[in-house]
Chains A and B, each alone.
Chain A
Amino acid sequence: MATYYAPNGLHNEFWTMSAFGGQYEDHGKAYILLLLSDSNLPTGSFVASAGLESYVTHGFFSSTQSPPRDKMDATIDFLQDSLRSYAHSALPFVTDAHMSARKLLSTHEDMSGSSGVIDLDDLYESMTLNHVSRRASKSQGVALLTLYSKGFSRPSTRRQRHLRHEAVDSELLQEDRAGAFVDELKLLIRQDKTHGHLPVCWGVLTACLGLSLERSQFLHLFLHARSLLSASVRLNTIGPYAAQQLLLHAVKPLVEFESRRCQHLHTELGGDNSGDRVDEVTHGPAVTWPLGEILAARHDLQHSRIFNS
Chain B
Amino acid sequence: MEAGSGRIVLRKHGTEAAFSELSYVYPLKLLSPRLSPENASAVYVVSYGGGLVGGDRIQLSVVVDEGAALVILTQGSTKVFKNRSGGRLSSRSQGTPADAITTQVLDVSIARGGAVFLLPDPVTCFRSAAYNQIQVFRLHSSASLVLLDWVTSGRKSIGEDWAFSRYYSKNEVWVENRQLAKDIMLLEEQQPLPSLPPRTLAESLAPYSCYATLIMCGPLVQNTLSSLSADFGRLTVFKQASPHELLWSFSAIGDGAGCVVRVAGTETELVRNWLGEKLVALEGIMGPDLYRRAFG
Contact = CB atoms under 8 A, between A and B. Distances in A.
Interface of A: 54, 56-60, 62, 64-65, 73, 76-77, 80-81, 84, 88-89, 122-123, 126-127, 129-132, 134, 249-250, 253-254, 257, 279-291, 293-295, 297-298, 301-303
A122 to B, nearest CB: 8
A58 to B, nearest CB: 6
A285 B94 contact: no
A129 B181 contact: yes
A301 B196 CA distance: 32
Contacts of A126: 179-182, 253
Nearest to A293: B262
Nearest to B168: A281
Nearest to A268: B182
Contacts of B232: 301
Contacts of A88: 186
Contact of B251 (A129, A284, A289): A129
A274 B277 CA distance: 51
Given A58-B240, A64-B241, A73-B197, A290 B247 contact: no
Contacts of A89: 184
24 contacts: A57-B237, A59-B244, A62-B240, A77-B197, A77-B199, A80-B199, A129-B260, A253-B195, A254-B193, A257-B191, A287-B186, A290-B211, A291-B208, A291-B211, A293-B262, A294-B247, A294-B263, A295-B247, A295-B249, A297-B250, A301-B236, A302-B237, A303-B236, A303-B239
A80 B239 contact: no
Contacts of B260: 129-130
B26 interface: no
A91 to B, nearest CB: 14
Contact of A298 (B180, B183, B186, B237): B237
A280 B204 CA distance: 24
Given A62-B240, A298-B237, 8 more contacts: A56-B239, A57-B237, A57-B239, A62-B243, A65-B242, A84-B190, A294-B248, A297-B249
A291 B168 CA distance: 16
A238 to B, nearest CB: 15
B251 A290 contact: no
Given A288-B187, A290-B211, A131 B252 contact: yes
A59 B240 contact: yes
A282 B208 CA distance: 26
A285 B251 contact: no
**Which of B134, B181, B249, B250 has most chain A Cβ within 10 Å?**
B249
B290 interface: no
Contacts of A64: 241-242
A130 B243 CA distance: 20
Contacts of B243: 58-60, 62
A88 B188 CA distance: 12
B185 interface: yes
Given A81-B204, A301-B235, A290 B185 contact: yes
A191 to B, nearest CB: 16
A286 B238 contact: no
Contacts of B263: 294
A199 to B, nearest CB: 15
List 10 A-B pairs, minimum CB-CB distance, nearest first: A59-B240, A297-B249, A286-B186, A131-B251, A286-B184, A129-B260, A64-B241, A59-B242, A126-B179, A294-B249
